[in-house]
């Protein structure tokens, strides 16, 4: 199994027991998270914007309009931080101080590169569609030349990253255990409800099974 070398930026200094540097762990979180939050700075002011991403092997891709600030700033080589977070549960303790959440997160540092190669760009855009619904890129109308030209795709190497995972119940001192309030974990997950057909949906097209029974990867 591939394990990333912790760097000054990715080594967890606090709660190091929650840190994971195995690519398998990092990739699984990136793949399950529908979106990530991308950080970049403009004149010292940080910006954090939600966006969809997709992974192909050792590369993380994000995309957007060629006119979007995030794509322009990151595409010019500004340092980036990409964070993906999955909430797995609320950890209810007896003391306010010991409340926490169960989560799995990845923080990835790097410098993005513009994807100019046509085949790589197509593959990245297909991967982004398939990241949302497995196999969907094969069913949809392929991008036109104008759509490809209007879309910027950026690539980040998955080489400097760490995962942080918390699981289980609260950790409390012996004397607090008798405090008379309920304590435990309330598991959380992102679920889909019934698909809503587009008002212009052509007749006779059924909801595909991957949408009728939509699930991100099972929670740990």
Q: Is 19 in the site for a second copy (CB under 8 A)?
A: no
Which range in 16-24, 53-61, 104-112, 113-121 contacts a second copy by CB under 8 A?
104-112
Q: Which of 99, 117, 135, 149 binds a second copy (CB under 8 A)?
A: 99
23-53 burial, b if ≥16 CB within 10 A, otherwise e?
A: bebbbbbbebbeebebbbeeeeeeeeeebbb
Structure tokens at 141: 């109308």
Least distance to a second copy from the beta carbon of 113, Å?
Answer: 17
Name the residue nearer to a second copy (CB basis): 28 or 68.
68
DSSP string over 28-58: HHHHH-SEEEEEEEETTEEEEEEEEEEEETT
Burial (CB < 10 A; 0-12, 13-18, 19+), residue 92, is middle
Single residue of 1, 119, 145, 194 touching a second copy by CB under 8 A: 194
Interface pick for a second copy out of 9, 11, 118, 134 (rule CB under 8 A):
9
User: What distance in Å separates the CA atoms of residue 106 and residue 82, rounded to the nearest whole number?
Assistant: 8
Residues in the chain, overall count: 220
- Of residues 68, 64, 73, the one with CA closest to residue 46: 73
Closest approach of Cβ 54 to a second copy, in Å?
Answer: 12
Note whether 30 binds a second copy by CB under 8 A.
no
Find the binder of a second copy among 60, 81, 154, 161 (CB under 8 A). 81
- The residues in 110-169 that bind a second copy, with binding defined as CB under 8 A, are 125-126, 129, 132-133, 136-137, 139-144, 147, 151, 169
Taking CB under 8 A as the criterion, which residues in 32-71 touch a second copy?
Answer: 34-35, 37-41, 44-50, 52, 65, 67-69
Query: How many residues make contact with a second copy (CB under 8 A)?
Result: 93
d(CA 62, CA 65): 11
Contact call for residue 97 and a second copy (CB under 8 A): yes
């Amino acid at each position: 199994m591939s394990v990333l070398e912790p760097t000054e930026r990715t080594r967890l200094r606090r709660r190091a027991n929650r840190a994971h540097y195995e690519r398998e762990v990092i990739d699984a979180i990136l793949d399950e998270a529908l979106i990530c939050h991308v950080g970049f700075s403009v004149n010292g002011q940080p910006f954090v914007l939600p966006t969809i991403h997709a992974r192909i092997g050792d590369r993380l891709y994000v995309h957007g309009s060629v006119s979007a600030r995030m794509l322009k700033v990151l595409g010019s080589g500004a340092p980036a931080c990409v964070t993906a977070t999955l909430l797995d549960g609320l950890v209810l303790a007896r003391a306010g101080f010991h409340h926490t959440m169960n989560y799995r997160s990845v923080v990835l540092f790097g410098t993005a590169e513009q994807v100019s190669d046509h085949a790589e760009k197509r593959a990245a855009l297909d991967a982004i569609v398939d990241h949302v619904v497995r196999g969907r890129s094969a069913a949809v109308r392929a991008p036109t030349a104008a759509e490809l030209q209007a879309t910027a795709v950026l690539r980040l190497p998955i080489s400097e990253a760490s995962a942080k995972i918390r699981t289980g119940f609260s950790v409390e001192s012996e004397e607090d255990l008798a405090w008379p309030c309920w304590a435990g974990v309330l598991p959380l997950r992102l679920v889909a409800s019934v698909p809503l057909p587009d008002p212009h949906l052509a007749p006779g097209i059924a909801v595909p099974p991957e949408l009728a029974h939509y699930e991100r990867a099972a929670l740990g």
